[in-house]
């Protein structure tokens, strides 16, 4: 899967995960947020998200902190 991390209107990073057949720039056009922080590919490996690569169309790369941002939105919280 591909992903984008955008900054919402309050400054919070929000991840969007979408199919690989959609280009990063195509997804970017659909989002109302002004600032894209990072882009790349994401996989679930061994129970954790791994972000890597980047987007040539947007000239952005995956960042280390993206894994935590994605996990905070898509992994169930442990109680």
pLDDT per residue rounded down to tens, the chain (79 residues)? 999 999 999 999 999 999 999 999 999 999 988 899 999 999 999 989 999 999 999 999 999 999 999 999 988 665 5
**Model pLDDT, residue 45:** 94
**Whole-angstrom Cα Rg for the chain:** 12
Residue 19 φ/ψ, nearest 5 degrees: -65, 150
DSSP 78: P
pTM: 0.90
**Model pLDDT, residue 67:** 97
């Amino acid at each position: 899967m591909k992903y984008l991390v955008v900054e919402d209107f309050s400054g919070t990073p929000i991840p969007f995960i979408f199919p690989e057949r959609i280009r990063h720039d195509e997804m970017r056009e659909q989002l109302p947020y002004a600032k894209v922080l990072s882009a790349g590919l994401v996989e679930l490996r061994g129970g954790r998200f791994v972000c890597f690569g980047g987007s040539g169309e947007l000239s952005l790369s995956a960042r280390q902190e993206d894994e935590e941002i994605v996990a905070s939105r898509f992994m169930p919280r442990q109680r």
